[in-house]
């Protein structure tokens, strides 16, 4: 979900303990807050750090159970 509360389906294409890259039809601007709901992981808060053709990259902001699970699953 983008800061405008617009929801869009996306696909995770790359993961690190600090962030994710997503394929998506819609994107917000760099610096925009987003909330991601990742299947099998849960809710993750982040900030868009860059856009690329067909998607965008998000830096995970703060700590949460879901962010910890993401880091453990893909570390």
- Band of pLDDT at residue 71, cut at 50, 70 and 90: low
40-74 in b/e form (b: 16+ CB < 10 A) is: ebeebbbbbeeeeeebbbbebeeeeebbeebeeee
Q: What is the pLDDT of residues 21-30, one digit of tens each?
A: 999 998 889 9
Q: What percent of the chain has pLDDT over 90?
A: 39
More confident residue, 49 or 5: 49
Phi, psi torsion values for 30, nearest 5 degrees: -55, 135
Token pair 């690190």 is at which residue?
A: 16
- SS3 helix, strand, coil % of the chain, rounded to 5? 15, 50, 40
Segments making up each domain of the chain, as ranges: 10-74
Q: Is the pLDDT of residue 9 over 70?
A: yes
Output the CATH code of domain 10-74: 2.40.10.220
């Amino acid at each position: 979900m983008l800061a405008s509360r617009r929801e869009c389906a996306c696909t995770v294409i790359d993961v690190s303990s600090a962030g994710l890259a997503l394929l998506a039809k819609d994107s917000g601007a760099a610096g925009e807050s987003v909330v991601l709901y990742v299947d099998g992981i849960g809710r993750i808060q982040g900030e868009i750090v860059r856009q690329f053709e067909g998607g965008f990259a998000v830096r995970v902001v703060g700590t949460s159970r879901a962010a910890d699970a993401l880091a453990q699953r893909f570390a």
